[in-house]
Amino acid sequence: MSELYLLEPDWPLPAGVQAFVSTRLGGVSAAPYASLNLGLHVDDDAQAVAQNRALLLTELEARTGQRHLQVQWIRQVHGTVVHEARAATAASVPEADAIHCRETGLVLAVMTADCLPVLFASDTGDEIAVAHAGWRGLLAGVLEASAARLREPSAALAWLGPAIGPCHFEVGDEVRAAFLNAATAAEAAATKAAFQNAPEPGKWFADLYALARLRLARAGLTRVYGAPRCTVCEARLWYSYRGEGRTGRFASLIVLAPVPKEMS
């Protein structure tokens, strides 16, 4: 087992908010899940996944300086449901594709292996959210639904995590048509530009990052960070379902810190 490799996104988070992205490095899972697989639904050994999650929690507590953290996991279904996380019910694993929270001590997590993870934070640092945005959820409005939970979406900021890049994300005519049909007049040109011809007729390379920025702007968020990091190109660091097929899942995570006693 190598040292757990956890990244911290580069974006101007307000005081009291911390964010992380796990990689596939530093866990105990055997191939093809090697090694920090956090997904229980991919046929990996359940004990290995439990140990990986325990390693992650230990590292998160060390990085944040918080003890007794709880991770809010969800069962992701490519929909638009936003779960409201609370410490009292954090042990449950609801069916949802986004999480919102105003409580401290809760780590919000989404798992991905090509889909786009999106982290949200209010500019005042008192509320956070995270969303899982594959093309289906993105088209259906999961980012708009997540932003709508924030008190002031226009003052919030978002970060786009590692996902399959436009260099590898190939979709059919029907996906491109669905996004074009859903675009507003102001979004039409940029939506069209987010799809580039692939070598095979009727296929297109889609830019999830560009499409997500359009949807976030629609929801009022213009402070959007995160450069594309392709999960297929960077297979040493992250899992890719399209690149590997049978593989694991990494997590994008965000947490609120407790308010210091002298400030409460």
Three-state DSSP string of the chain: CCCCCEECCCCCCCCCEEEEEECCCCCCCCCCCCCCCCCCCCCCCHHHHHHHHHHHHHHHHHHHCCCCCEEECCECCCCCCEEECCHHHCCCCCECCEEEECCCCEEEEEEECCCEEEEEECCCCCCEEEEEECHHHHHHCHHHHHHHCCCCHHHCEEEECCECCCCCCEEEHHHHHHHHHHCCHHHHHHHHHCEEECCCCCEEEECHHHHHHHHHHHCCCCEEECCCCECCCCCCCCCCHHHHCCCCCEEEEEEECCCCHHHC
- Fold for the domain defined by 6-162+222-259: CNF1/YfiH-like putative cysteine hydrolases (3.60.140)
Q: State the pLDDT at residue 257.
A: 83
pTM: 0.95
Q: State the pLDDT at residue 264.
A: 40
Q: State the pLDDT at residue 262.
A: 46
Give domain limits for the chain.
6-162+222-259
Q: State the pLDDT at residue 211.
A: 98
Q: State the pLDDT at residue 259.
A: 56
- In a structure prediction context, what are the per-residue pLDDT tens digits for the chain, which is 264 residues long? 557 889 999 999 999 999 999 999 999 999 999 999 999 999 999 999 999 999 999 999 999 999 899 999 999 999 999 999 999 999 999 999 999 999 999 999 999 999 999 999 999 999 999 999 999 999 999 999 999 999 999 999 999 999 999 999 999 999 999 999 999 999 999 999 999 999 999 999 999 999 999 999 999 999 999 989 999 999 999 999 999 999 999 999 999 987 544 444
